[in-house]
Amino acid sequence: MPPPARTNHKLTGMALYVGFDSSTQSLSVTIVEVAGDLRRIVFEHTLVFDDELPGYGTAHGVRVSDDGRTVVAPPAMWADALDRTAGIITDSGLDLSQIRALSGSAQQHGSVYLRAGGETALASLDPSLPLAGQVAPLLSRDTSPVWMDCSTGAECRALAEALGGDAALARLTGSRAYERFTAAQIRKFATRDPEAYARTARIHLVSSFMASLLAGRDAPLEPGDASGMNLMDLAARQWSSAALEATAPDLASRLPPIAESWTTVGELAPYWRRRYGFGPARVIAWTGDNPSSLIGLGLFEPGQLAISLGTSDTVFGPIARPVHDPSGAGHVFGSPAGGYMGLTCFANGSLARERVRDAYALDWGGFSALLERTPAGNGGALMLPWFVPEITPAVAHADMHRRALDAADAARNVRAIVEAQAMAMRLHSRWIVDRVGVIRATGGAAANAQILQVIADVFAAEVVRIASGNSAALGAALRAFHGDRFAAGDPVSWEEAVAGFTDPTPQPHIRPAPSHVAAYATLLREYEAFESRMRSSA
């Protein structure tokens, strides 16, 4: 889990910057202090939705339909979490008047639907009442489809056909048609519930919705998160009218504008100032969690690579040009720092690991001990860990397979899932960077050194971590700093903005073991063949 809240009370009275991360399972906040060369994290806190807000009836932050394909979450829960976290910041002992700017990141692709009049209502929320009850009536749809949804296959086919095929759509928007991407989700909503679509005046991503709550006005989208919609012309960093028309009627008027990621949305709204005593700090545009982690990990040079082990597993890094994955499985997003990033996403990440852990009644300590006890290469045993439909490679139905692996053997199953995930990451990230010397790891499971060792061995690369447990929230705080300085007419470069925060921690050293690297050179080819055989037989 992310580190517990901690406050350093010996502050020097300089600028504070706040970064939120509204992820699948939790809302985190990281606050940094910047005083010249003195840079430090002064507060971190994570609110887990299922534990702290059980009234919304989520499991792992979402609600899943019986067939497992429709996955939604209530936006009022995210608003509630933001409200409670503001209260927690107030109680932290920090001097709120030192906060210069706030920004955030959010799980990508999810969409929030607001009725007409939402913007005016957001500007005049009653500070004596909780936020969630005031936000719920503004929604034209009380749940949001989120990135885990895979119910829109028909809509994807229609979009691809209307826009000249998947390859053409990938050249235009950075990705072929994806079920979780917002265009397919909007199309499904507009065709299946046209009345509710007609009542919808504004469609936000989770990121721009949360920024709108803070600023009390309609926030723009920025290119990092907007490129996860199949709606943005990647080269122009603006909406593609062809993609909008293929998606739903009158969509252009329902979408916020796209602006650079360092745009000031406005001042913190009166709600937050009166209810909690915050000052008139700047709200900087929010982005997606993966683009935010790119900043929080300090990755600006093509050739660098990060692995995020969160609810989803993702592999990403800056890329010089919008080159596409020849297999069609990856995404090109805009980087919040300008330019592009490549990303490959796996739906069977932490929750799949938890499934194997729970199947053998283990805790993470027991899981890691078994991982350590089993040999690299697992004696040739293989697993395809598709416990839910997989994004990469595209697997439409849950379809878990074992090869030369006894289901009763806890230790080998633990090793098999971790090796499978690491090998899939390696195979499907070659288009971003073929060989890499150092990988930056982040996300909840990056706390697990045994999992990181398998990744190091499979990639034949060193794996490092940064001091912060949450690179997305840290990236948001650093983007708040960067955006604030830009707005104040005293801009800093991205490298300067992240300096002192993104250096790898010296311990632990997770280096590839030569004998393990050799074992995976063989197993990787076998895994690739197994993966392709089972996909074609599905």
Q: How far is the C-alpha of 200 from the C-alpha of 75, rounded, in Å?
A: 15
Q: Which is nearer to ligand ADP, 96 or 441 (CB)?
A: 441
Using CB under 6 A as the binding rule, the residues of this chain from 132 to 191 that contact ligand XUL are 147, 180
DSSP bridge pairs for 101: 17, 282
- Per DSSP, the three-state class of 114 is strand
Q: Which is nearer to ligand ADP, 134 or 470 (CB)?
A: 470
444 binds, among ligand ADP, ligand XUL, none (CB under 5 to 8 A by kind): ligand ADP
Place of tokens 């920025």: 222
314 binds, among ligand ADP, ligand XUL, none (CB under 5 to 8 A by kind): ligand XUL
One-character DSSP codes across 250-278: T-GGGSPPB--TT-EEEEPPHHHHHHH--
What string marks each residue from 16 to 35 as x (binds ligand XUL by CB under 6 A) or -? -------xx-----------
Q: Cβ of residue 380: shortest distance to ligand XUL, in angstroms?
A: 31
Q: Cβ of residue 107: shortest distance to ligand XUL, in angstroms?
A: 4
Cβ–Cβ under 8 Å, residues 185 and 206: no
Residue type, 46: T
Give the binding site for ligand ADP (CB under 6 A): 1-2, 23-26, 310-311, 350, 353-354, 364, 443-445, 447-448
Q: Which is nearer to ligand XUL, 347 or 463 (CB)?
A: 347
What string marks each residue from 332 to 351 as x (binds ligand XUL by CB under 6 A) or -? -------------x------
* Non-local CB neighbours of 425 within 8 Å, separated by 6+ positions: 307, 313, 315, 344, 346, 455, 458, 459
Buried b (16+ CB within 10 A) or exposed e, 50-75: eebbeebebebbbbbeeeebbbbbbb
**N-to-C CA span, the chain:** 35
1 binds, among ligand ADP, ligand XUL, none (CB under 5 to 8 A by kind): ligand ADP
Q: Which is nearer to ligand ADP, 24 or 261 (CB)?
A: 24
What string marks each residue from 220 to 239 as x (binds ligand XUL by CB under 6 A) or -? --------x-----------
Residue whose Cβ sits closest to ligand ADP? 444
Selected from 69, 109, 217, 428, the binder of ligand XUL by CB under 6 A is 109
Q: Is 10 exposed, middle or buried (0-12, 13-18, 19+ CB in 10 A)?
A: exposed
Q: How far is the C-alpha of 93 from the C-alpha of 274, rounded, in Å?
A: 18
Cβ–Cβ under 8 Å, residues 172 and 189: no
Q: Cβ of residue 109: shortest distance to ligand XUL, in angstroms?
A: 5
428 touching ligand XUL, by CB under 6 A: no
Q: Cβ of residue 364: shortest distance to ligand ADP, in angstroms?
A: 4
Pick the stretch among 1-9, 205-213, 288-296, 407-415 that binds ligand XUL (CB under 6 A).
288-296
> What is the enclosing helix (H) or strand (E) of 204?
strand 200-205
* Non-local CB neighbours of 249 within 8 Å, separated by 6+ positions: 190
SS3 of 43-71: the string is EEEEEEHHHHCHHHCCECCEEECCCCCCE
342 binds, among ligand ADP, ligand XUL, none (CB under 5 to 8 A by kind): none
Q: Cβ of residue 458: shortest distance to ligand ADP, in angstroms?
A: 17
Q: How far is the C-alpha of 257 from the C-alpha of 471, rounded, in Å?
A: 27
364 binds, among ligand XUL, ligand ADP, none (CB under 5 to 8 A by kind): ligand ADP
Q: Is 435 exposed, middle or buried (0-12, 13-18, 19+ CB in 10 A)?
A: exposed
Q: How far is the C-alpha of 457 from the C-alpha of 455, rounded, in Å?
A: 5
105 touching ligand XUL, by CB under 6 A: no
Q: Cβ of residue 309: shortest distance to ligand XUL, in angstroms?
A: 11
298 binds, among ligand XUL, ligand ADP, none (CB under 5 to 8 A by kind): none
Selected from 314, 392, 421, 450, the binder of ligand XUL by CB under 6 A is 314
* CA distances for 411 relative to 86, 115, 367, 405, angstroms: 43, 52, 8, 10
Rg (CA), the chain: 22
393 binds, among ligand ADP, ligand XUL, none (CB under 5 to 8 A by kind): none
Q: Cβ of residue 29: shortest distance to ligand XUL, in angstroms?
A: 16
Q: Cβ of residue 108: shortest distance to ligand XUL, in angstroms?
A: 3
Using CB under 6 A as the binding rule, the residues of this chain from 473 to 512 that contact ligand XUL are none
Q: How far is the C-alpha of 345 from the C-alpha of 3, rounded, in Å?
A: 25
Using CB under 6 A as the binding rule, the residues of this chain from 41 to 60 that contact ligand XUL are none
Vertex 487, ends 483 and 489: CA angle to 5°?
Answer: 120
Pick the stretch among 213-221, 263-271, 285-293, 409-417 that binds ligand XUL (CB under 6 A).
285-293
C-alpha closest to that of 372 among 450, 445, 446: 450
26 binds, among ligand ADP, ligand XUL, none (CB under 5 to 8 A by kind): ligand ADP
Q: Which is nearer to ligand XUL, 291 or 377 (CB)?
A: 291
* Non-local CB neighbours of 330 within 8 Å, separated by 6+ positions: 175, 324, 342, 343, 344, 392, 428, 429, 431, 432
289 touching ligand XUL, by CB under 6 A: yes
25 binds, among ligand ADP, ligand XUL, none (CB under 5 to 8 A by kind): ligand ADP
Selected from 46, 134, 261, 312, the binder of ligand XUL by CB under 6 A is 312
User: For 247, what's the count of Cα atoms within 13 Å in the CB-facing half-sphere?
Assistant: 28
* Contact footprint for ligand XUL (CB under 6 A): 23-24, 107-109, 147, 180, 228, 288-290, 312, 314, 345
